């Protein structure tokens, strides 16, 4: 399409500039970054619908009673299986086929994050907050528990 005589864009750099301009205007979603540069989302509403599958209060009862859902609501950790289940809420939009790229886009927007040196995915908006003292007492309890298991006490 870019090489059409009326458009006459033939250099990769010009294509990237065009895509960046369209991204800035809001007509496409494009990032010239590792893991993202090979994909262009031509319909931003499609991306919004994908995000809505994960960040929504409309969850099927089957999902709500799953272990993966309980893990998400308890710790904020999002499993691959749960992502697939949630994407099935809109099967006609083929989110599952594009799951790897959608996850990278969601990471770019900080909707999903990896913790350091971990492949586990987390949704920061689902991580429960607590006071530092509660966290500290929980950590001390866990350390004492592990120490007892290791036979150091």
Please name each of the domains of the chain with its CATH number: 43-150 (1.10.10.2200)
pLDDT confidence of residue 119: 87
Beta-strand pair 77-78/113-114 = unpaired
| pLDDT tier, 74 (very low <50, low <70, confident <90, very high otherwise) | confident
DSSP strands (E only) in the chain:
77-78, 113-114, 121-122
End-to-end CA distance of the chain: 71
pLDDT of res. 3: 66
Average pLDDT over residues 14-31: 91
Q: Which residues 6+ apart lie within 8 Å of 144 measured at CB?
A: 153
Q: How do residues 91-140 score in pLDDT, each as one tens digit?
A: 899 999 999 999 999 999 999 999 888 889 999 888 887 777 776 776 66
In the prediction, which pLDDT does 116 show? Answer: 80
Report yes or no: 40 and 19 within 8 Å, Cβ to Cβ.
Answer: yes
3-state secondary structure of 99: helix
Please report the pLDDT score of residue 153 as a whole number: 45
Nearest to 101 by CA among 31, 26, 21: 31
CA dihedral 52→55→58→62, nearest 10 degrees, is: 110
User: Is 37 or 3 the better-scoring residue by pLDDT?
Assistant: 37
Give the residue from 111, 108, 109, 116 showing the smallest Cα distance to 86. 111
**pLDDT tens, residue by residue, 32-65:** 999 899 999 999 999 999 999 888 777 776 677 7
Q: What pLDDT does 23 receive?
A: 93
> Are 153 and 147 within 8 A, CB to CB?
yes
């Amino acid at each position: 399409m870019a090489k059409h005589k009326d458009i006459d864009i033939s250099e990769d750099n010009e294509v990237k500039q065009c895509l960046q301009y369209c991204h800035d205007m809001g007509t496409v979603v494009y990032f010239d970054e590792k893991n993202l540069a090979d994909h262009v989302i031509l319909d931003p509403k499609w991306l919004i619908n994908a995000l809505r599958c994960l960040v929504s209060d409309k969850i099927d009862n089957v999902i709500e009673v799953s272990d993966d859902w309980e893990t998400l609501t308890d710790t904020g950790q999002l499993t691959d299986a749960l992502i697939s289940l949630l994407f099935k809420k809109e099967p006609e939009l083929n989110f599952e086929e594009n799951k790897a790229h959608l996850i990278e886009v969601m990471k770019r927007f900080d909707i999903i994050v990896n913790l350091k040196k971990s492949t586990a995915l987390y949704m920061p908006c689902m991580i429960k907050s607590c006071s530092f003292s509660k966290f500290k007492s929980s950590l001390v309890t866990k350390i004492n528990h592990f120490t007892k298991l290791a036979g150091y006490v």
